[in-house]
Structure 1
Amino acid sequence: MAMSPVRKMALKALSYPQLDVKKNYKIHRKVVVASHPFFKPLYNSLDQKIILENHEIPVRIFKPKKAEGFKVLLFFHGGGWVTGNIDSYTNVCANMANQTGYVVVSVDYRLAPEHPFPSGLLDCYYVAEKLYKNLQFFPRKPEEIVLIGDSAGANLAAVVSLMARDKGEFLPGKQILLYPATNNYHDSRSQFPSILENGTDYIMTSKRIQDYMDLYISKEEDKFNPYVAPLLEKDLSNQPKTLIITAEYDPLRDEGEAYGMRLKEWGNDVTVNRIKDALHGFLTLPKQAAYISACYEIINGFLKNK
């Protein structure tokens, strides 16, 4: 069913296609946190810090009301590698824990441009390595830990899996990529129709995505690094069992689905689902309950499937 003209007009009014993220990313951060309030004292006892070389990586642990065997979702938040943190995603992660019955461990990785690629990625990888290799840190079997992320966080989850394979230090059994960024260009240089079709009128614009990537990297050649754009990886063998969920009106829709197809071509077990009528970032948007429910129905089916 096509989107109603009224809804489309409202979304177009909220999209601000010419908004300059590069100049105003600090304001964006404040707006993101302010628009996702949470009751902090409730979670203080669940905050932990992991030491990596000369800095700390905060993590926040969310326990579900009804646990499914105390299994773990290791979550990397979205925000274009530039905005978002464990505070702005606290309500999302608390709901994720209750919806799935899994413990959710949310990582507050370093943000660009102050800490450009690969800083945030290395934080995510180190936390994953801690969980998968040091079971005293979190007493789980490796197969009971699932990588998950949304948008830029899904990009980080996919790349952590690639890096884990390349280093040979551990290998996740499953990963869940929610509307992931997988390609290097999100303007007229992109080969994917959704970049143009959905790039101006659905809140998250193609220009904003490209601005985020430009802030994420420190040099132009980084755009051709598979650890920035995993779709460019030539060898996608030996990857985790993967669930990719995309949104119909998302500029990133086609590249997320293309990553799923390439994983399948390399013999991996992959499921790709598109949420009809949904927008990029629907997991964090208000009044998206129907899409969130559909998303968790798919996620829970994936988690229960051996």
Structure 2
Amino acid sequence: MNPLLRLALRLVSLARFDVREDYERVRHLQRQLAALPVARYRSPTWDTFSDSGTGRRVPVRVFTPREQRRDELLLFFHGGGWVTGDIESYTPACATMADLTGCRVASVDYRLAPEHPFPAALEDCYGTARRLLEDPRRAGLEDADQIVLMGDSAGGNLAAAVSLLLRERGHRPPSRQILLYPVTHWDHDPETSPFPSVRHHGEDYRLTNTEIQDYFEMYAPDPEQRKNRLVSPLMATDLSGQPDTLMITAELDLLCDEGEAYARALEAAGNRVRLHRVQRALHGFITLPRFARPLREAYEVIDEFLEADGPASP
């Protein structure tokens, strides 16, 4: 990385906000930035709701690409440490996602911590996915195999957990999932973490060890709960029967190694996995402008994954 850019990122890291005290302000700022004229999206959108199965109606925003080239629906769970982010702040990213993949994108507005700690977000995402997989006609689809789970960061964590939970409960899993730099492990203390990227990239860049620890404590207040496979998918003892998976990690992200470890664990359990690391990329690059190199590279890989032959037979 350019030394000047590295220095700039380090200075930014020294001026971090306090997640616990400032999360509401961060949410507001994210929505304001997403609404700026320079970030206006051109993909047609509409809002709908999904019955979570518990009587709760989960807001979903659907994005239609300017040129629809595929029949797949990307069921997307946004990032933000389970605490920030929503369908408003992720609207520019989802509009870009729709245009660059040629797919419709359904962005799920799951409940956030600390007001709604684990398992609220998972319940919303799981319920939405299960309903659509059981009846794809709700989304205008002919086949559930056209539904692809996708998430970034905490949303990638939720996508992985939804796939685990669907298999465990005997429901139809998705045929494919796309996990972007997901959280898969509970320990991000540089003194005890098993992953070098936590020690190498946990202080200078986009996401810090302290921030992710704060997010974890707000999402899953009980320390033992954080080791639950549905909070930390790498803790799962049975990863068989999971969807074909595309794992995309960022080289300069403290979550890089744990995401790649999860990809290897899925493959070792007999699943089809493609792993791609975006070099010189930071955490959260999916929200960058569409001309950004890391984002373009990631969508080239996503395009290849979606173009590949259908999922393997069970």
Task: Place the TM-score, normalised by the shorter chain, in its bin.
Answer: over 0.9
Paired amino acid for 2:128: V
Match for residue 279 of structure 1? Answer: 282
Could you say if the C-alpha distance between residues 25 and 208 of structure 1 is closer, same or farther in structure 2, counting changes exceeding 3 Å?
same
> Separation in 2 of the partners of 1:67 and 1:288?
20
Instruction: Please give the per-residue CA displacement for 1:102-160, whole angstroms capped at 9, x wherever unaligned.
Output: 11000000000100000000100111011110133123211111000000000000010
> Separation in 2 of the partners of 1:285 and 1:206?
22
- The question of whether the paired residues in 2 share the 8 Å contact of 1:147 and 1:157 is answered with yes
> Separation in 2 of the partners of 1:8 and 1:229?
30
- The question of whether the paired residues in 2 share the 8 Å contact of 1:16 and 1:203 is answered with no
Match for residue 178 of structure 2? Answer: 176
- The question of whether the paired residues in 2 share the 8 Å contact of 1:17 and 1:200 is answered with no
Could you say if the C-alpha distance between residues 116 and 245 of structure 1 is closer, same or farther in structure 2, counting changes exceeding 3 Å?
same
Match for residue 149 of structure 2? Answer: 147
Instruction: Please give the per-residue CA displacement for 1:237-285, whole angstroms capped at 9, x wherever unaligned.
Output: 1110000000010010000000001111111100110000000001113
Match for residue 62 of structure 2? Answer: 61
Could you say if the C-alpha distance between residues 274 and 45 of structure 1 is closer, same or farther in structure 2, counting changes exceeding 3 Å?
closer
- The question of whether the paired residues in 2 share the 8 Å contact of 1:17 and 1:207 is answered with no
> Separation in 2 of the partners of 1:135 and 1:51?
13
Match for residue 265 of structure 1? Answer: 268
Match for residue 6 of structure 1? Answer: 4
* Worse overlay, 167-176 or 37-46: 37-46
Decide which of 198, 215, 219 is 1:216's aligned counterpart.
Answer: 219
> Separation in 2 of the partners of 1:258 and 1:244?
10
- 2:53 matched to 1:50? no
Q: Equivalent residue of 1:137, what SS?
A: helix
Paired amino acid for 2:72: K
- The question of whether the paired residues in 1 share the 8 Å contact of 2:9 and 2:205 is answered with yes
> Separation in 2 of the partners of 1:304 and 1:13?
41
CA RMSD of aligned residues (A): 1.9
> Separation in 1 of the partners of 2:70 and 2:26?
38
Between the aligned residues of both structures, percent identity stands at 46
Match for residue 31 of structure 1? Answer: 29
- The question of whether the paired residues in 1 share the 8 Å contact of 2:43 and 2:95 is answered with no
Match for residue 239 of structure 2? Answer: 236
Match for residue 84 of structure 1? Answer: 85
* Worse overlay, 22-31 or 153-162: 22-31
- The question of whether the paired residues in 2 share the 8 Å contact of 1:60 and 1:107 is answered with yes
Match for residue 205 of structure 2? Answer: 202
- The question of whether the paired residues in 2 share the 8 Å contact of 1:22 and 1:211 is answered with yes
Match for residue 312 of structure 2? Answer: none
Match for residue 289 of structure 1? Answer: 292
Q: TM-score, normalised by structure 1?
A: 0.94
Q: Equivalent residue of 1:136, what SS?
A: helix
> Separation in 2 of the partners of 1:282 and 1:225?
28
Paired amino acid for 1:22: R
Could you say if the C-alpha distance between residues 70 and 293 of structure 1 is closer, same or farther in structure 2, counting changes exceeding 3 Å?
same
> Separation in 1 of the partners of 2:105 and 2:267?
27
Match for residue 156 of structure 1? Answer: 158
> Separation in 2 of the partners of 1:291 and 1:285?
8
Q: Equivalent residue of 1:242, what SS?
A: strand
Q: Equivalent residue of 1:149, what SS?
A: strand
Q: TM-score, normalised by structure 2?
A: 0.92
> Separation in 2 of the partners of 1:42 and 1:273?
29
Match for residue 111 of structure 1? Answer: 112
Could you say if the C-alpha distance between residues 272 and 297 of structure 1 is closer, same or farther in structure 2, counting changes exceeding 3 Å?
same
Could you say if the C-alpha distance between residues 16 and 29 of structure 1 is closer, same or farther in structure 2, counting changes exceeding 3 Å?
farther
Q: How far is 1:287 from its partner?
A: 8.4
Q: Equivalent residue of 1:68, what SS?
A: coil
- Counting matched residue pairs gives 304
Q: Could you list the runs of 5+ residues in structure 2 that have no partner in the other structure? A: 310-314
